[in-house]
Chains A and B, each alone.
Chain A
Amino acid sequence: MSFTTFQLGGIHPPERKELVAASAIEEMKSPQKVIIPLSQHIGAPCKASVEVGQEVKAGQVIGAPEGFVSAAVHSSIGGKVAAFESVLMPIGRMVPAIVVERPANRQDEAWHPAQDDKDYLKRSPDELKSRIKAAGIVGMGGATFPTHVKISPPKEKPIDAVIINGAECEPYLCADHRVMLESPEPVIEGLKILMTVLGVSKGYVGIEANKPDAVERMLEAAKGANIEVRTLQIKYPQGAEKMLIKSILDREVPAGGLPMDVGVVVQNVGTAYAIYEACRYGKPLIERVVSVTGGGVNNPKNLRVKVGTPISQLIESCGGLKSSAGKVISGGPMMGFAFFDLNTPVTKGTSGIVVLEDKDATGNDKYYNCIRCGRCVEACPMGLMPLMLSLYSEKGHYADAKDYKLFDCFECGSCTYVCPANRPIVQQIKLAKTQVKP
């Protein structure tokens, strides 16, 4: 059976989903201490709105958005603001953060629903949007674009389709898969809210063919609504917005453009779930599902984790690292970031923690001359010529790389995956992007 997919390029790395695909989401115990970065989204960092020593409740705003493209951050536990500090994020940047601590003797204080609005779908788009904004929701697939911005397209760009991205094309990760399996209704409700907000009558859910059980559950949940659940061919990077839109609607987002240019808004499964919780219960985005997996961790699991929990604690509740652990990655192995400081906290965009074994962990290995084999050209889903971008960047001819559409690369890494010369193509492209203006 063949499923729809995008046409250009794409690769199929080993999926390795079996490690956690069948593990039900476990609620992780609330930590004593959370480190909440003030910048958990693309856009302007938040400004702290609490002081050291102040008591905060779970779900209370502690960082207020500055500017339009920004999203509030909330304390994920009840306790006392212990400190302001800088924390090294997996992307390698220091980010200001607020540390909230719960006194050792105090009980875990759960978040209480602010409301139970069963008629959330009857609310005005503006009301729903403001609930989403208040909840500080961002794209939870990893890109962390503030959701309220994404669903406020300018008037001249009418939206006619909303897609829920359940592709989860990164190897290892199963968080979205489990959410769709265990809570299909909330996800579909989240989609309905998005459709209401955007005034769209048709919704889509795209799921890769390696999750047939999720497809089934989502179909059931979507019954009666004008929502199409589509099975997609297993191909990386199927979950990239542009690819997903091509796969499902056969529309091509123009080069340099955004999904809204072709009338589409795409949201991740976890985001849809958070949208539903925000609109019905007024729940802020203070927890998320994280797949803790890979050959280097003892008992791989899917955990529902409070934002701000140090990753070391996630690993601990999965039985700790094996002695063979060689690399810890935040996100998937294709686009995620390796890091060494396990005190790094879980953020809204942390879709997974993948621990690779030493033997599987490729490092900054030696690379060779490009032999122009063209594999990267075949693999590029954007129809670029990565070898040329790589060669120009290597020589420092960054401006020439622009002729080869440098800025159309969205850094999926397919080119680098297939390169027999082991060249760090996507890194050279990223470097070139920092050296020239678009």
Chain B
Amino acid sequence: MEAGKNNNLIVSVSPHLRSGESINRIMWTVTASLLPAYAMGFYYFGPKAVFVTLFCILGSMGSEYFVQKLAGKEISLKDGSAVLTGLLLGMNMPSSVPYYIPLVSSFVAVAITKQLFGGIGYNVFNPALMGRAFALITWPRAMTTWAEPTADFTGMDAKTTATPLGILKEQGVDKLLEVFGDKMHLYSELLLGHRAGSLGETSVIAILVGAAFLLVRGYITLRIPAAFLGSVAAGAWVFGGKQGIFTGDPLIHLLSGGLMLGAFYMATDYVTCPTTKKGQVFFGIGCGLLTILIRLKAGYPEGVMFAILIMNCFTPLIDRGFKTKVFGAKKKA
């Protein structure tokens, strides 16, 4: 050893400081922020909700382990992304589904949609939504049989009923008001989540609490959700009424279905949404318009899932089309 040379010193490249942010922390924080909405799902739909979600999470983790083991890759379960996918997938299912559905669809979500495309970061589609789309198409009956929400833990063999959007689609807004009493009651029930639907998507309030936490922490921005919700509201108002344009009720559409969960948790998925500000706004508007198009004109009462999945396809293109403006770039003449 020459004098002055110190072989204990680390030599590495700049920058020598890091913010300390990590994928693990992001994933686990987002997972934690979902707990209020999940708790409400448990409250309304009972222990069955817990099992459905648990099977989704176990299925996701198992699928991740299986593929990574098979591919000889490092097991990345502790980064939390499989747990988050499983939780989101579970929250997007009716509480009444048979247990093989969570298992199979979480395999589709994690093994196929994520790992076979190269693992975290390389998936084109939101894994949880892909899993749900698969389930919806494969088991349409089971995936659209909605348990009536109760608060007395009788979810095991609860009565089934239609979702507000289902009623709206099949029987119109008058029937919806009849079921819920009046408009104010409808709104407040939707806000609290006392309605049929996927077990984690019903309580708008709880989802907003989690989303607010993520917004404050800077984990998500309002660009996608605001553009998404705004265009759904605008579309519902303009085209959603019976007596011509500008007569629809935007609030019913905003508060029902999987819109809030989709706008704040699915559309904002880092991997599958655009990275530039303008691109994100465009993406959000695209999601919103497709959602309202499907809800009003297509065969499904709900359109959030397909809207986001379709927009996921466009993400690379959007990122290309809405490149950032480089500092000092010449303005186009």
Task: Assess A413 versus B4: contact at CB under 8 Å? Given A375-B21, A384-B324.
Answer: no
Q: Return chain A residues, CB-CB under 8 Å to B327.
A: 8, 242, 246, 252, 255, 381-383, 408
Task: Evaluate contact between A369 and B122: CB separation under 8 angstroms.
Answer: yes
Task: Evaluate contact between B17 and A373: CB separation under 8 angstroms.
Answer: no
Give A383 to B19 CA distance when docked, in angstroms: 20
Within 301-330 of A, Cβ neighbours of B (below 8 Å) are at 310, 312, 321, 325-329
Q: Which of B12, B118, B271 has the most CB of A within 10 A?
A: B12
Within 1-51 of B, Cβ neighbours of A (below 8 Å) are at 2-19, 21-23, 25-26
B residues near A, CB below 8 A?
Answer: 2-19, 21-23, 25-26, 79, 118-122, 270-271, 273, 275-276, 319, 323-330
Task: Evaluate contact between A329 and B16: CB separation under 8 angstroms.
Answer: yes
Task: Evaluate contact between A385 and B276: CB separation under 8 angstroms.
Answer: yes
Task: Evaluate contact between B18 and A257: CB separation under 8 angstroms.
Answer: no
Task: Evaluate contact between B21 and A13: CB separation under 8 angstroms.
Answer: no
What are 6 residue pairs bridging A and B, where the CB atoms are less than 8 Å apart in the complex? A254-B330, A326-B9, A371-B121, A416-B18, A417-B15, A426-B15
A residues near B, CB below 8 A?
Answer: 8, 11, 13-14, 171, 242, 246, 252-257, 310, 312, 321, 325-329, 333-343, 354, 356, 358, 360-364, 368-375, 377, 380-385, 387-388, 404-405, 408, 413, 416-422, 424, 426-427
Q: Which residue of B lies closest to A243 (CB)?
A: B327
A-B contact count (CB 8 A): 176
Task: Assess A361 versus B10: contact at CB under 8 Å? Given A255-B328, A369-B121, A418-B21.
Answer: yes
**Complex partner residue of A420 from B26, B323, B329, CB under 8 angstroms:** B26
Q: Return chain A residues, CB-CB under 8 Å to B5.
A: 340-343
Give A334 to B17 CA distance when docked, in angstroms: 6
Task: Evaluate contact between A426 and B328: CB separation under 8 angstroms.
Answer: no
Give A372 to B316 CA distance when docked, in angstroms: 11
Chain A nearest CB from B324 CB (Å) reads 5
Task: Assess A385 versus B323: contact at CB under 8 Å? Given A361-B10, A369-B121, A373-B26.
Answer: yes
Q: Which 3 A-B pairs have the closest CB atoms?
A: A369-B121, A413-B15, A374-B275
Task: Evaluate contact between A363 and B10: CB separation under 8 angstroms.
Answer: yes
Q: Which of B9, B119, B273, B329 has the most CB of A within 10 A?
A: B9
Give A396 to B163 CA distance when docked, in angstroms: 51
Q: Which of B11, B122, B323 has the most CB of A within 10 A?
A: B11
Chain A nearest CB from B39 CB (Å) reads 27
Give A383 to B326 CA distance when docked, in angstroms: 5
Give A404 to B323 CA distance when docked, in angstroms: 8
Task: Evaluate contact between A325 and B26: CB separation under 8 angstroms.
Answer: no
Chain B nearest CB from A372 CB (Å) reads 5
Task: Evaluate contact between B120 and A371: CB separation under 8 angstroms.
Answer: yes
Give A404 to B276 CA distance when docked, in angstroms: 13
Q: Return chain B residues, CB-CB under 8 Å to A384.
A: 324, 326
Q: Return chain A residues, CB-CB under 8 Å to B121.
A: 368-372, 421
Give A408 to B17 CA distance when docked, in angstroms: 23
Chain B nearest CB from A157 CB (Å) reads 15
Give A404 to B327 CA distance when docked, in angstroms: 12
Q: Which residue of A lies closest to B3 (CB)?
A: A343
Q: Return chain A residues, CB-CB under 8 Å to B325.
A: 383
Task: Evaluate contact between A338 and B23: CB separation under 8 angstroms.
Answer: no
Q: Which residue of A lies closest to B74 (CB)?
A: A366
Task: Assess A383 versus B324: contact at CB under 8 Å? Given A371-B270, A373-B270.
Answer: yes
Give A408 to B5 CA distance when docked, in angstroms: 36
Chain B nearest CB from A97 CB (Å) reads 15
**Complex partner residue of A254 from B18, B122, B328, CB under 8 angstroms:** B328
Give A256 to B319 CA distance when docked, in angstroms: 23
Task: Evaluate contact between B120 and A369: CB separation under 8 angstroms.
Answer: yes
Q: Return chain B residues, CB-CB under 8 Å to A387.
A: 275
Task: Assess A385 versus B16: contact at CB under 8 Å? Given A372-B270, A408-B327.
Answer: no
Give A277 to B325 CA distance when docked, in angstroms: 42
Task: Evaluate contact between B324 and A377: CB separation under 8 angstroms.
Answer: yes
Task: Evaluate contact between B276 and A377: CB separation under 8 angstroms.
Answer: yes
Task: Assess A408 versus B326: contact at CB under 8 Å? Given A342-B6, A420-B26.
Answer: yes
Task: Evaluate contact between B329 and A417: CB separation under 8 angstroms.
Answer: no
Give A371 to B80 CA distance when docked, in angstroms: 13
Q: Return chain A residues, CB-CB under 8 Å to B275.
A: 372-374, 377, 385, 387
Q: Which of A327, A333, A371 has the most CB of B within 10 A?
A: A371
Give A208 to B128 CA distance when docked, in angstroms: 46
Q: Which residue of B lies closest to A257 (CB)?
A: B328
Task: Evaluate contact between B13 and A333: CB separation under 8 angstroms.
Answer: no
Q: Return chain B residues, CB-CB under 8 Å to A361.
A: 10, 12, 16
Q: Return chain B residues, CB-CB under 8 Å to A335.
A: 14-15
Task: Evaluate contact between A342 and B16: CB separation under 8 angstroms.
Answer: no
Task: Evaluate contact between B13 and A340: CB separation under 8 angstroms.
Answer: no
Task: Assess A340 versus B9: contact at CB under 8 Å? Given A11-B19, A255-B329, A335-B14.
Answer: yes
Task: Assess A327 versus B10: contact at CB under 8 Å? Given A338-B16, A362-B16.
Answer: yes
Q: Which residue of A lies closest to B79 (CB)?
A: A368
Task: Evaluate contact between A420 and B14: CB separation under 8 angstroms.
Answer: no
